[in-house]
Amino acid sequence: MNYKLKKKLPSGRTFEQIRNHYEVEKAIATRLKKATREERKIIYQTMYDELFKQVPDHSRLKRRENPKMTAIANQNKLKLIEKFIDKSTVFVEFAPGDCRFATSICNRVRSVYGVDISDQRGQFDNVPNNFELIIYDGYNLQMQENSADVVFSDQLIEHLHPEDTEFHFQLVRKILKPQGVYVFRTPHRFSGPHDVSRYFSDEAEGFHLKEWTYNEIAKILKRLKYSSWSGYKYTKRNLIKKPFAYFIIIEYILNIFPKRLRKITSRCLLSRYITIVAVK
């Protein structure tokens, strides 16, 4: 198959590496999209091992080996959650990946739980005593109800099978204490695709099984009876809280635009990411 680049290659990666990454992710994602829930449980257990084995130049592996990149990523995430945590906080991060961020905040909170479908930590020394990694199948989570003050995920929602997304929000609500918060960030569909398929396609075809809008997520939160939710516009320096109606109105207007213009404009008016704080 002949591939035509839709955007400039990232620094340090060749065309062949990006093409291979795209083909590997797309093949696994296709299996996942077609799978039943029981089949998805099995795929979830091995999909990242399979990806990293076939794509050794993956950016996540490179970042794990680079302390400076890790520190920047951790500071970026801390900006999202620092106003919600203190020394009494029970903190849960879904999809912590290499767990560098989760363990970095152990000295700021009472306890930290990482929840993931596989152990992706690699070589990891000096694990804090108040950190625990819980491996689950994507559905059955052995955590006490009403036990978490803050639940966090960064770029997880887009990786969930669309049939599993509402279940995920239900699971989070179950483990949150009353008035506990779920802080999450996920790429906005209007400025996507945001996975590796952006180099070759106008649609997300890799591990981003579905990229979302504020309006779509708000409907899920309402159905599941979260008490309230707020949207934030994320900039390089600040996290700016906006009336949720702002995001709904902007999305409504942008939806009328041609796709290319919508993509460019949405990055200015909405930013690349959906950032929401939902309260149980």
How much is the mean pLDDT over the chain?
93
DSSP secondary structure string, 55-73?
-TT-HHHHHHT-HHHHHHH
Instruction: Tell me which range, 34-38, 58-62, 88-92, 114-118, is most confidently predicted by mean pLDDT.
Output: 88-92
Q: How many CA atoms lie within 13 A of 161 on its CB side?
A: 21
Average pLDDT over residues 90-111: 96
Residue 27 has pLDDT above 80, yes or no: yes
- Sketch the domain layout of the chain as residue ranges: 68-279
Q: Determine the pLDDT at residue 66.
A: 79
Average pLDDT over residues 118-128: 80
List, for residues 174-232, the tens digit of each pLDDT value. Answer: 999 999 999 999 999 999 999 999 999 999 999 999 999 999 999 999 999 999 999 99
109: tokens are 């909170």
Neighbours of 154 (CB within 10 A): 22
Written out in words, the top-level CATH class of the domain with range 68-279 is alpha beta
pTM of the model: 0.94
* Element housing 52 (H / E): helix 37-54
SS3 166: helix
Rounded to whole angstroms, the Cα distance separating 212 from 217 reads: 7
Q: Determine the pLDDT at residue 82.
A: 94
Specify the amino acid at residue 33: K
Could you give the percent of the chain with pLDDT greater than 90? Answer: 80
Measured on CA atoms in the order 108, 109, 114, 115, is the torsion positive or negative? negative
Nearest to 181 by CA among 227, 235, 241: 227
Average pLDDT over residues 150-161: 97
92 Cβ partners below 8 Å, 6+ apart? 112, 113, 114, 115, 143, 148, 150, 151, 152, 175
Q: Say if residues 108 and 185 touch (Cβ distance below 8 Å).
A: no
Q: Which residue has the tokens 């409504």?
A: 252
